[in-house]
Structure 1
Amino acid sequence: MVQRVDVSGKQGYPLFLGAELGELGSHLQNTYGQDGHYLLISNTTVAKHYAEKLSQGCHGLKLDQIIVPDGEEEKSLERISTLTEHALDLSADRDTIVLALGGGVIGDLAGFFASIFMRGIRYIHIPTTLLSQIDSSIGGKVAVNHPSGKNILGSFHMPQAVWTDFTTLQTLPWKEMRNGLAETIKHTLVAEPDLFEFIDDHADDIKGRNDKILKEMALRSLAVKVKIVSEDEREKGIRMLLNLGHSFGHALETEEDYKGITHGEGVSIGVAAAVFLAKGRDLMTGKQMERTLDLLRRLDLPTTVTGHDPHVLLQHMAADKKNKAGHKILILPVGIGKSTIVKDCSDEEILRAWESVIR
């Protein structure tokens, strides 16, 4: 049964949860008519599993495909340039609607392309990973990376809709599942202590890929994202809390040139660094810190990293988008289930946090 959840705001849009990929074509015809042009953008891994199923459901519609290689490094201006050339070859115009089929990388890449192609065209998110279903497909943040920092070049461009088929998780490798679990645990620390307890109680079921437990977890996790982005569409206040762990994690991804550590692994290590920093500021007790680290580890998520210089990582953090007037702004947990924006962290404190997670 399809569940509809609406993201509110100046540019609100619906999430269709539990919607089958093969039914998207009917939605497109009912919403936009028979004569539209659709541009499916996906990567080699996802397209192998799902592009044909989606295309068959769009029978009778004008649907073209652009398939790009898999990998975070594809989020680049070079790939945007190539997409532009392909789109023009396929006669894309201002009325074309982009269908972004894939995880966070495709959502960011295809969404950013849609935001700038001919000054902006419409797009629909079709998230296929846990991370994209509970986090990155919601909120309209789209971007590509730059050698100076992750997601430095981007915009807010709200989708027309998010079409989520949870059955795509059945083909998702455990490593990719972990990326989403890191974001889910982040959501629990930001605003959902009951979900933290649920995950703690059902960690074995989650690792065993229990469909019922995974779906409940996903629905409760994405509800956190929906509530926050509905209140703060353009990240002027409370939405900044969703960056818990990301200032640290993005620094790691940048240092490894987006080819080493995954986004979820970076977030997990970033959360670990943040809880150490929070403990040092008496925002968390020792028990709360250890419970958080233990839950990350039980889900096979890393809490340490090797082979990095904390001073180099600190330099990467200077490019973080939350920073203001040269001051590093961090999100830190306050216990389990609440977080706060901290504007006065010294470089010494941040270095100590890095040293706590570097082996």
Structure 2
Amino acid sequence: MSEQRRPAVFRLDDPHVAISDVDAPLRSRGRSDIVIQPEPEAALPAEILAPPARKRFRWGTVFWSALGGLVSMGASLSVWKLVEDLFARNEWLGWLGFVLAVVAAFALLVIVVRESIGLMRLAAVETLRERAVAILASDDRDAGRSLIGDLIAFARKVPRLARGRVALESHGQDIIDGADLVRLAERELLPDLDAEARQLVADASKRVSVVTAVSPRAAVDMLFVLYTAVRLIRRLAELYGGRPGWLGMIRLVRETITHLAVTGGMAAGDSIVQQMLGHGVAAKLSAKLGEGVLNGLLTARLGLAAIDVVRPLPFTALPRPTMTDVASGFVRRREAKDEDV
């Protein structure tokens, strides 16, 4: 049985301390000598040492860009040829066509600028939310103060946030951690907007529920649900300061659907759906009325997902709205109507 050495303190430059190689056998020169043998370093797995994947060249982007350029050139040449033909036929017709072409080009330029501004505004909201998530994880005070400054500048564009902006500015020099600054900004700026957003989602859900319950055609139901969903997403984005254009709306709808797919929002696992199925409401209601209720629930889920997408800060200090908050009211009213019948 080997002798166990008691804990001791020594210096590496002590003549009685020897450092042995990793592969050499551990040998002591005497009872008073101390022999140190370094442990071998563990080899990294091959997967970690693998080089990153190379970025592929996007030929699809090149194709659509080139095709769009050709279409634009063809349309411009066609308009120019039309103006020349009008001048050849009659001078005043040519000037009229030229003026109309200039007006159309100016209107197109304005539309492009507005769409670009809308996309930039949506990108700014998304950047604020990503920075807030990072600050909540790192608790960086300097990054939190920088985010507060950007939020104050962003809140100046929304008149209804004036009171919260002033209250947030009063805490600008306080010694507060980064994560607490994010929670403070959420409590000062977003409670009223969240309440109005929940009301917008609830109203849209009730509207879809009523219209699809009395509509005689399935095509009308689909068109109305689509129109209500797009309108709801736009109003939520405008509420939180987004104000998107048509391209921005396409992006928002895509991100909202992606958020639903990632978070499993379409699954019927929420308490309000369980309450409906547990109480047998679907069996009591007529088929058309039950379809209206389910369409309303799906609209509510879409609205809640849109709130997460368009909100400039994640839900941390304030409670996240749930299906029970926005849908329980009209479900109870549907049950009361069915009992009266």
Same fold judged by TM-score > 0.5?
no
Query: If each structure's helix is expressed as a fraction of its own residues, which one has the higher value?
Result: 2
Instruction: State which structure, 1 or 2, has the greater radius of gyration over its C-alpha atoms.
Output: 2
Higher RCO (CA < 8 A, seq sep 6+): 2
TM-score using structure 2 length: 0.24
Query: If each structure's strand is expressed as a fraction of its own residues, which one has the higher value?
Result: 1
